[in-house]
Amino acid sequence: YKPSRENQLKDERFFVQSLVTDNPFISKHYISNLQKLDKASRERLLYGNWDYDEDPSVLIDYEKSVDLFTNDFVKGGVKYITADIARLGDDKTVIRVWDGLRSIKRYELAKMRVDDVSNKIRQIQAEFNVPNSNTICDEDGVGGGVVDTLRCIGFVNNSKQIELAGQKFNYSNLRSQCYFKLADYVNSNLIYLSDSDVSIREKITEELGEIKQKDIDKDGKLIIVPKDAIKRNLGRSPDDSDCLMMRMYFEIKPI
């Protein structure tokens, strides 16, 4: 498992995840016993979440991240679009359409030119009636070209936090501010994702589990672990969690 996660397996080897629930002959009593274990053991042995731990720096509760896909009681509202644009070397762009805090559509694009991505977002805007003022794209890297073409809102990860009257915390950057806000919303069951693809759900819960506070034992500005560190742990870019995180911009920014 570990060599597979770190992309160090030899070519002739492959890790296949197998859960207790995959065995049609397993005793129901065995599964019920696993359900009675402590949370960490239950996550590892029953759900195959092998890297789960009680790390206090983790911002989002695992069970709450799983609830994202069943929180269909969340009401709709204003339409938004968030887009994490593929950087050089990465292979996909993730786009989400939002109805309030309900994600009603997810798009995943293979490697595409900037103008093709821009045209795709324009099509989505027209289909769901979303204006540029409610569309936000990751402006770092090649995403800047999409922002320039669309003239929508650009999200710069290392830009300063959005200043609010009476703000209780100081954040190291906008990315950290939005991720702390996302953690608050997810842990409070305020977001619903309509994704039905199990593989996408697993990717999202895995990515959200890697969102941790850096230097939790130190005083000072709140900061999330760098994206490069998350990417190393996952073996890929956290495109989906970043797409969710950018939705918080519209929750934080004063109207």
List Cβ neighbours of 239 (8 Å cut-off, separation of 6 or more): 84, 86, 90, 92, 93, 94
Please answer whether residues 71 and 222 qualify as being in contact, where contact means their C-beta atoms are separated by less than 8 angstroms: no
| Distance of alpha carbon 109 from alpha carbon 94, whole angstroms | 7
Q: Tell me the per-residue pLDDT of 210-220, one tens digit each, with 9 for 90 and over.
A: 899 887 666 67
List Cβ neighbours of 202 (8 Å cut-off, separation of 6 or more): none
| Distance of alpha carbon 205 from alpha carbon 52, whole angstroms | 11
Q: Are strands 93-99 and 192-193 parallel, antiparallel or unpaired?
A: unpaired
Q: Tell me the per-residue pLDDT of 140-153, one tens digit each, with 9 for 90 and over.
A: 877 889 999 999 99
| Distance of alpha carbon 21 from alpha carbon 91, whole angstroms | 32
User: Is the pLDDT score of 233 beyond 70?
Assistant: yes
Question: Alpha carbon of 167 to those of 14, 93, 117, 184, 221: distances in Å?
Answer: 49, 33, 36, 15, 13
Question: Alpha carbon of 48 to those of 43, 192, 231: distances in Å?
Answer: 6, 24, 20
Q: Report the amino acid identity of residue 63.
A: E
State the pTM of this model: 0.78
Q: Tell me the per-residue pLDDT of 158-215, one tens digit each, with 9 for 90 and over.
A: 999 998 877 777 899 999 999 999 999 999 999 999 999 988 998 999 899 889 988 7
Average pLDDT, stretch 128-134? 97
Would you state the pLDDT for residue 54?
64
User: Is the pLDDT score of 40 beyond 80?
Assistant: no
Q: Tell me the per-residue pLDDT of 57-82, one tens digit each, with 9 for 90 and over.
A: 889 988 899 999 999 999 999 999 99
